[in-house]
Chain A
Amino acid sequence: MRIGSVISILMKTHQSNSPITVGLFVTCLADLIRPQVAFAAVSLLESAQCEVRVPRGQSCCGQPALNSGDRANSIEIAKQVITEFSDVDYVVVPSGSCADTLKNKYPTLFSKDMRWARRAQKLADKTWELTKFLFEKVELKGIDAALDGVCTYHDSCTGLRELLIYEQPRELLKQVKGLRLKELKDSNVCCGFGGLFSLKYSDISTHLVSDKCTEICNSDADMVLGGDLGCLLNIAGRLRRDNKKARVFHIAEVLAGMTDGPAIGDPEESE
């Protein structure tokens, strides 16, 4: 133990001049559906002088199993994520609900296994949601992005209530030139996504996302932003089905100035 702590102190002294390493947990939705969110996250982290690593052995955080009450399979996935991200200083996740899974749920999975419980806690302690990390941890200044238009913001439930993310995205958006933020009525009310809930209880889910889209339309904003792709896919899916004009982006895309291409669910040859 003593030798170990001496070594770790030496390591820290040695590392103090080198940039902090950040492991990007891409999330399966960003990986498969909206890679631009992950590229935006990399660009933002690099502009904050972080050395970004993307461990190859990652896929999903395990929420579908976890939220279905399947602990055995959740544990398997958690162990893999814990191992893949063991040698970075921080883990950053462009999603509140996935970050919460790593940070608050994994440590509850290993009540009977002290060794893994410790490792899970270590991962939990260094895991951050992207906007929280950029605003609180590295205090990112000088965001070089511009977006002329009125945006509104949907607060995803898990980020809002479990990770207390509310001010951080709003503060960061203030740095985007031309962007005017108009608050969304009931921005803290669930959009009805809820992962598998949206398929299993689609009638209720549809009712909730319809309410959300009504408020978005009432806000008259050109764009709706958020920090969780699950919610954004749900909202964009409903807006597109109803041919509503509001465009949907992940906040990372806006902060990284990657809004020239099509918005979520929009046709490829967008104007």
Chain B
Amino acid sequence: MSEISSIQRVEFQDRVRTALNDVNLQRAMAKAKSGFVDKRLEAKSALPEFDQIRDAARDIKDHVLSNLDTYLELYEEKVIENGGHVHWARDAEEACSIIAEICKASGARTVTKGKSMVSEEMYLNPALEAVGMEVVETDLGEYIVQLAGETPSHIIAPAVHKTREQITDLFHEHHSPLGYTDRVTQREALVNEARSVLRERFVSADVGITGANFLVAETGANVIVTNEGNGDLTSSLPKVHIVTAGIEKVIPSLEDLSVLLRVLARSATGQEFSAYTSIYSGPRRPEDGEGPEAYHVVLLDNGRSSMLGGDYQSMLRCIRCGACLNHCPVYGAIGGHAYGWIYPGPMGSVLTPLLNGFDSAVDLPNACTLNGRCKEVCPVHIPLSDLLLKHRTEQHERKLTSATSRWILTAWTWLVRRPRFYQAVMAIPLWTMNRISRGSGRLRWIPFGRGWTDTRDFPVPSRKSFLRQWYSQEKGHE
């Protein structure tokens, strides 16, 4: 076990180093960071009852999680009533094969996709490509990472790690063969070029796949929020619409939806509302002018049901707003890819070990300063930093941490529980450090402390500890 963790540690630390030395990533992250934070704060300040709405949002999600079976069954009933189909997938593999079957059965060649993190979780794109489908991401950020052959580095801003120059290069490389030979560099021109390229794809697609921000049990509808409108074109133009979602996305009613929407966009991008909020509830009816002929919903479990009723259930409240990523200093430093799986930042560090196995990501819960900013901004009050600490406890109990570190903690506890002996023992390094520092006030190297002293001085300790001074000089204190 400790072997596994040591291998992964090296991998994680390597990814971190690469990220910290990546000039483009650092430029892109520095630009994005304050934007998200400032805009959320502005939106929050403009809505005095924001915190009460957060409480209500948490309560709605908690209520659903306590009655998940009921709401899922109600939702399924309604979808069927509306003429749609519901498919239940135990894991990613099953979900992919269900979706591939639907695509094959409809004779599809081209699939357009709206942004869906759950499809990333399923590794859906390679699975569809393996059965001969051409898959086109239509969310601008997703489209960019698809062109780059990458995965999203942020759950709502997939290409946040890319600079505009990098996007210019990517577009120039991939769009030139399509006749877009001018090298465009301005933001608006880049968006327009992507829009124009993607428009053709929307029209020619056979199947459209979207995610869902919410599934409404009372109407059987799926709700998506976007800022580009790509979700609508993906949902309504192809003859088959497939919705993919985790089972925790169901909510009771449209009234609950209105509460959750009020915190979602504000927490995510600082908007009051995203540009598009679209509600779809099934295939085209005879009286409809447009819409898909078939409507499928693929509900993914993939480990979620095992989180119900346990210590980590609150994580299932997550509405994927990305606020915890935007406010996490570690995420801001290393970006999303260093986390190693599709869910980065605090929510990813909690979720990844739960969905992929505790030994799959030993570093993630530890690579956190427990500063608590994630917990502070979470719109549904997920105690993210507490859950990360819970993970650490779990790791310790499962002996996923190194034997050396566990031994050191026990030895150190033994020492601090013997205060007089501890005081006597600690006097030795205090004396030594003072000798070595020769009054400079700082040490440039300390044994076992290179992690600190490679980049920071270590302020020299006092010659004599406070407790020894207190009890020797002021005998009255004895």
A residues at B contact (CB < 8 Å): 26, 28, 30-36, 38-39, 54, 56-60, 62, 64-71, 73, 76-77, 80, 157-158, 161-162, 188-190, 192-194, 197-209, 211, 233-234, 236-238, 240-241, 262, 264-270
Contacts and interface: CB of A to CB of B under 8 A. Distances in A.
A197 B459 contact: no
Contact of A70 (B409, B417, B420, B451): B409
Interface string B321-349: 00000000110011000000000000000
B90 interface: no
B278 to A, nearest CB: 36
Nearest to A97: B370
Interface string B405-419: 110011011001101
Given A204-B333, A205-B451, 16 more contacts: A38-B466, A59-B423, A62-B416, A70-B396, A161-B371, A162-B372, A194-B369, A194-B371, A197-B368, A199-B449, A236-B457, A237-B442, A237-B457, A240-B456, A266-B442, A269-B439
B467 interface: yes
Contacts, number: 200
A71 B396 contact: yes
Contact of B366 (A76, A158, A200, A207): A200
B88 interface: no
B395 A190 contact: no
A205 B455 CA distance: 10
B369 A202 contact: no
B454 interface: yes
B296 to A, nearest CB: 43
A259 to B, nearest CB: 15
Interface residues on B, range: 35 or more
Nearest to A235: B456
Contacts of B394: 69
Contacts of B444: 241
Interface stretch (B107-115, B154-162, B280-288, B469-477): B469-477
Interface centre among B401, B412, B413, B477 (most CB of A within 10 A): B413
Interface of B: 13, 16-17, 20, 329-330, 333-334, 366-373, 375-376, 389, 391-397, 401, 405-406, 409-410, 412-413, 416-417, 419-420, 422-423, 426, 430, 439-442, 444, 449-452, 454-462, 464-467, 469-471, 477
Contact of A35 (B368, B449, B452, B466): B466
Nearest to A35: B466
A234 B453 CA distance: 10
A69 B442 CA distance: 31
A43 B337 CA distance: 50
**Main SS class of interface, B:** helix
14 contacts: A56-B420, A56-B467, A59-B416, A64-B409, A73-B413, A161-B376, A194-B368, A194-B369, A197-B368, A203-B16, A206-B455, A206-B456, A240-B442, A264-B459
A204 B413 contact: no
A237 B401 contact: no
Nearest to A190: B371
Contacts of A209: 456
B461 A204 contact: no
B410 A238 contact: no
Given A35-B462, A190-B373, A199 B452 contact: yes
Given A57-B419, A199-B451, A200-B366, A161 B333 contact: no
